[in-house]
Structure 1
Amino acid sequence: MMENLFIFLTVISPKIKRRLWRSWYDFLAKSYQKEDWEFMNYGFADIDHQLKPINLSLEEAQNKYFIQLYQKVASITNLQHKKVLEIGSGRGGGSFFIAKYLSPMQIIGIDIAQENIALSKQLYKLPNLSYQEGDSENLPFLDNSFDVILNVESSHCYGSMDKFLAEVHRVLKPDGLFSWADLRPVNDLEKLENSLNKSGLVLVEKQDITTNVIKALELIDQLKKEKINNNVPKILRHTFSEFAGVKNSKIYNGFVNGSLVYLTAFLQKKDS
């Protein structure tokens, strides 16, 4: 199956992994440019009441669980008057939500997929929001540039977590904050732990939110299936369903059986 070949290629070579994910996201952005697909994460259901309520519009409320994952990641600090960077901004919906509701002085969304950036610029316009093409492992910014860096469900696509974290450390201001969320196979957790430990960043908090993500996937399952059936050619529906994490997909089942976990981590730059 196509998705099995895709998974195999992402494992064998970091260079192939980066190129393949970039091509995949460029393909998605070019193939589907409607405004009703703003987020590409698996969502977060606030079953334990961690988040402050936000008065979303009726249209935005359809993306409630995707937005709540951004709320969770952004809850590290008050973003007002902060200069914020989102690495791996995808189709742009997360950076737009933060710019609109959390009032940073500035937020820049970067993504390695050129078509994602073109689509984001087309869909979202606010005075404190901008998008640009950029590589997570070679960020196009000067040292000590940002108060806060966010990274939501993107790092599993990168060739090197170590290079990515080194770049995060470089462009964060002293005492700056980094907030990360992503999925990992359980057999990769030791490798992730090693990368975080040698990043030069101080771990403030780490949390397993797999249960919240499973609940979100279940709550939005029917909507995802309807969109896939209505917009994706039949030959590609199974691949898209796997990518979207619908019920009984490998992603969904991995979360349920414990072979995959979804984590958040808050870290701070504390240079002596």
Structure 2
Amino acid sequence: MLQCCSCDAVYTNDDRYVSMLDRREQFVHPSEWNRKEAEIRDYSEISHSLALSGIGRFATFLNYGYVPRGNEQHAVIEPDDAWNRNSVKLLLETVGRTAIRERQVIDIGCGRGGNIAALSKYFKPLSIVGLDICPANIAYCNAKSRGGESLYLVGDAENIPFADESFDVVLNIESAHAYPNRSRFYEEVYRIMRVGGVFLYTELMLGDQVAQNIRLLEEAGLSVIRNQDVTSNVLLSCDESAKQRTGTQGIASNAKASTNIGDINEFIALPGSKKYEEMKAGTRQYRMMNLVKR
């Protein structure tokens, strides 16, 4: 056990990870904590199913991916990865022209570490922290990590265990939809960013939530410098990935067989799922944003 000398928060150590979850939150915000525990269970089951499938060591991304479609492109690097190419392309488009080299970066909702591996490969940041609420994800990242500039911790996006102005770049890809209190998350992002820092953010939002989320971001103190609808690019990637993800070793097949997750097709937005059809109809939008702290 670890106890913070400043705020008395108590954290736990495991031989596979350090947990920086402040357990006092379950008493202060019990309903929100229950939602977070449900997310932990779901992602733990996905991690388990990928391990059983035999492809777990290759499945470092769970995002929808991105395929170019003639609209404006922002990436300055093209991925050379054959495996997970669309997912890497999504990251590179999100980064765009943002300076990463020799800067301190945190990936909130880092999942299975794919974004961090790609950032290290293509941009050479000074340091990267991966933060995720699911211990199974962080245990996986630590098992694959060779040390060096990356640090992986279990932690809560709404109660980030770092001091004010600790990072130059904050990354959050397809994760914020699971956070019960969006305002607290945006405020935490602002708090841990240095002045001039950049928030690289993607999320699949209901159409009527886009303006509301932008308002919350601005109320937290962040200025929007890019706000792009890339739904058509994400749909193309979902189409391309469908065969791989529904194959005998794909996440859809194995999650159905080995976990209690309700609708894995919905989770990964396979063609025909409600989420996919809502993107196609325009009632959900995949937004790619860059914001700064001035």
Measured against the shorter chain, the TM-score band is 0.7 to 0.9
Counterpart selection for 1:37 from 20, 43, 59: 59
Q: Which residue of 1 aligns with 2:7?
A: none
Bigger CA drift: 170-179 or 71-80? 71-80
Q: Which residue of 2 aligns with 1:215?
A: 236
Per-residue CA deviation, residues 13-32 of structure 1 (Å, 9 max, x unaligned), is: 64433221122112222332
Query: Could you state the TM-score of these two structures normalised by the residue count of structure 2?
Result: 0.81
Q: Which residue of 1 aligns with 2:271?
A: 247
Q: Is the 8 A contact 2:74 2:96 kept in 1?
A: no
How far the C-alpha of 1:76 sits from its partner, in A, is 4.5
Distance 1:115 1:234, change over 3 A: closer
Counterpart selection for 2:75 from 51, 64, 75: 51
The SS at the match of 1:62 is: coil
Q: Is the 8 A contact 1:134 1:140 kept in 2?
A: yes
Q: Distance in 1 between matches of 2:148 and 2:78?
A: 21
Give me the CA root mean square deviation.
Answer: 1.9
The SS at the match of 1:61 is: coil
Q: Which residue of 1 aligns with 2:143?
A: 122
Per-residue CA deviation, residues 80-137 of structure 1 (Å, 9 max, x unaligned), is: 1000000000011111111122110111110011111001111232522221111101
The SS at the match of 1:32 is: helix
Q: Is the 8 A contact 1:99 1:126 kept in 2?
A: no
Code of the aligned partner of 1:253: E
Q: Distance in 2 between matches of 1:159 and 1:113?
A: 15
Q: Distance in 2 between matches of 1:165 and 1:199?
A: 6
Q: Distance in 2 between matches of 1:222 and 1:232?
A: 15
How far the C-alpha of 1:242 sits from its partner, in A, is 1.8
- Alignment pair present for 1:20 and 2:38: yes
Q: Distance in 1 between matches of 2:223 and 2:110?
A: 24
Q: Which residue of 2 aligns with 1:269?
A: 293
The SS at the match of 1:109 is: strand
- Alignment pair present for 1:85 and 2:99: no
Q: Which residue of 2 aligns with 1:4?
A: none
Unaligned runs of 5+ in 1: 1-12
Q: Which residue of 1 aligns with 2:210?
A: 189
Distance 1:233 1:24, change over 3 A: closer
- Alignment pair present for 1:231 and 2:290: no
Q: Is the 8 A contact 1:41 1:66 kept in 2?
A: yes
The SS at the match of 2:226 is: strand
Q: Distance in 2 between matches of 1:148 and 1:269?
A: 10
The SS at the match of 1:183 is: strand
Distance 1:233 1:82, change over 3 A: same
Code of the aligned partner of 1:267: L
Q: Distance in 2 between matches of 1:39 and 1:119?
A: 12
Q: Which residue of 2 aligns with 1:175?
A: 196
After the TM superposition, which segments of 4 or more aligned residues of structure 1 sit over 6 Å from their partners?
235-238
How far the C-alpha of 1:62 sits from its partner, in A, is 1.9
Q: Which residue of 2 aligns with 1:258?
A: 282
The SS at the match of 1:164 is: helix
Counterpart selection for 2:88 from 37, 51, 67: 67
Code of the aligned partner of 2:290: F
How far the C-alpha of 1:233 sits from its partner, in A, is 4.3
The SS at the match of 1:177 is: strand
Number of matched pairs: 255
Distance 1:269 1:239, change over 3 A: same
How far the C-alpha of 1:185 sits from its partner, in A, is 1.0
Q: Is the 8 A contact 1:76 1:266 kept in 2?
A: no
Distance 1:55 1:266, change over 3 A: closer
